[in-house]
C-alpha cells in the first residue's frame, strides 16, 4: 500500500479503508537514531538459461527503501513484542521485498531469506525480513564458468534433455541442483511446473584382475521438484515424472548402461506452499577415458 501524507501529518498505510499508523510510528522511532534508508537489490532472473547449469542468469535492479536493520545478538527496545533476530540480521519494512533479493546496508550485503507480513487487527503494518550476511560478496576470484571440464551432471543433463518427452512433461527444465537463488522464484516467475535437478555424483573404481582401474561406477542423484500451483496436483505430476524417467532409462540404457535406482520422497512445507520432491539414483558404468 502507498503512504499518504496530508499537510504535516503522516496518515500511514491503508488496507481496505482501515487506518493503521503503527508502522509510521515505529519507523519514526528508528529514524530518531539515524537514517533507515538502505539499497534494495531486486533479484531478476534473465534469459537465456545457462547452457551448462540450466539456470537463469541473475541480475539486480537497485532502489532505495526504508528498512531499519537490527543485527544478531543486539537487543533493541524499539522492537515490537515477540520480534527477534533469527538469522544474521532482521529488517523491518513496509516496502515490497521478496525472498532472494539483496539488501546493501553500511557497505555490507545481505540476502533476504524469508519475508513475513505483520498485521495489526485487519490492517497491514510492515514486513519482517530475515537477512543472511554475504561476507564474500565483493571478493573477486577466478571465473570457472567457461571451464571445458564436463562432470557427471552435465553428461546426464544432456542425456535427459535428449530423451525426456515434452508431451508427457510440459513446462519442465533439467538443471544442476542448488541454484544460488530460492527455487520458489523459478516456479512463481518462469512458468515452470517441474524441475529435474542433478546433484553431485559419487564414484567407485572398477579394478581388473591386474589391479588396474578400467572404469568407474557412478551414482548421480536426480531430484524431481514441483509445488502445489493452481490446477496442478503435485503428487500426480511427481508420478508422471517418475514414469517418464523410468521410460527413458529403460528405453535408452545403452552408451553407459544407465539404470534408475531407488526412490526417496522428500516432500516438505514452505509456508503456504507444499514442495513435492523425490530423489532417484541414476547408476551407470563408464570407462576410464
For the chain, the average pLDDT equals 83
Most confident segment among 62-71, 206-215, 232-241, 251-260: 62-71
Predicted confidence band of residue 1 (pLDDT cuts 50, 70, 90): very low
Select the more confidently predicted residue: 180 or 62: 62
Write out the three cell numbers for 273.
506452499
DSSP secondary structure of 238-275: HHHHHHHHHHHHHHS-TTTT-EEEEEEE--EEETTEEE
> Domain 152-287 has what CATH class?
alpha beta
Domain 4-133's class? mainly beta
Dihedral of the alpha carbons of 68, 70, 75, 77, in degrees to the nearest 10: 10
Q: How much of the chain exceeds pLDDT 90, in percent?
A: 40
Residue 75 pLDDT grade (very low, low, confident, very high; cuts 50, 70, 90) = low
Q: Residue 36: what pLDDT?
A: 93
Domain boundaries, the chain: 4-133, 152-287
Task: Pick the more confident residue, 271 or 180.
Answer: 180
Answer yes or no: is pLDDT of 95 > 50: yes
Q: Look at residue 10 and tell me whether its pLDDT is greater than 80.
A: no
**What cell numbers appear for 123 in the block?**
490492517
Q: Percent of the chain at pLDDT above 70?
A: 83
Q: What are phi and psi of 259, to 5 degrees?
A: -145, 140
Q: Give counts: helices (H), strands (E), the chain.
A: 4, 17
Residue range 127-159, pLDDT digits in tens? 999 999 999 877 665 555 555 456 889 989 999
**What does the pLDDT read at residue 165?**
93
Q: In sequence order, what are the beta bridge partners of 215?
A: 206, 287
Question: Which tens digits make up the pLDDT trace of 109-129?
Answer: 999 999 999 887 777 889 999
Amino acid at each position: 500500500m502507498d503512504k499518504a501524507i496530508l499537510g504535516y501529518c503522516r496518515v500511514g498505510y491503508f488496507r481496505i479503508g482501515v487506518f493503521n499508523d503503527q508502522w509510521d510510528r515505529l519507523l519514526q522511532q528508528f529514524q530518531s537514531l539515524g537514517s533507515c534508508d538502505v539499497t534494495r537489490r531486486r533479484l531478476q532472473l534473465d534469459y537465456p538459461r545457462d547452457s551448462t547449469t540450466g539456470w537463469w542468469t541473475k541480475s539486480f535492479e537497485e532502489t532505495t527503501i526504508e528498512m531499519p536493520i537490527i543485527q544478531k545478538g543486539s537487543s533493541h527496545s524499539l522492537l515490537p513484542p515477540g520480534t527477534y533476530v533469527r538469522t544474521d540480521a532482521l529488517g523491518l519494512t513496509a516496502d515490497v521485498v521478496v525472498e532472494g533479493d539483496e539488501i546493501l546496508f553500511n557497505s555490507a550485503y545481505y540476502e533476504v531469506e524469508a519475508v513475513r507480513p505483520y498485521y495489526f487487527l485487519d490492517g497491514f503494518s510492515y514486513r519482517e525480513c530475515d537477512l543472511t550476511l554475504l561476507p564474500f560478496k565483493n571478493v573477486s576470484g577466478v571465473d570457472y564458468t567457461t571451464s571445458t571440464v564436463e562432470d557427471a551432471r552435465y553428461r546426464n543433463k544432456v542425456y535427459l534433455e535428449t530423451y525426456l518427452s515434452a508431451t508427457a512433461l510440459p513446462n519442465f527444465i533439467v538443471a544442476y541442483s542448488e541454484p544460488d537463488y530460492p527455487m520458489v522464484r523459478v516456479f512463481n516467475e518462469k512458468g515452470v511446473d517441474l524441475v529435474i535437478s542433478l546433484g553431485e555424483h559419487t564414484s567407485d573404481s572398477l579394478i581388473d584382475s591386474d589391479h588396474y582401474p578400467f572404469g568407474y561406477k557412478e551414482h548421480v542423484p536426480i531430484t524431481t521438484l514441483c509445488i502445489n500451483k493452481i490446477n496442478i496436483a503435485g503428487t500426480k505430476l511427481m508420478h508422471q515424472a517418475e514414469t517418464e524417467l523410468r521410460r527413458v532409462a529403460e528405453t535408452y540404457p545403452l552408451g553407459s548402461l544407465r539404470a534408475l535406482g531407488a526412490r526417496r520422497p522428500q516432500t516438505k512445507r514452505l509456508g503456504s506452499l507444499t514442495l513435492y520432491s523425490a530423489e532417484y539414483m541414476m547408476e551407470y558404468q563408464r570407462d576410464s577415458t
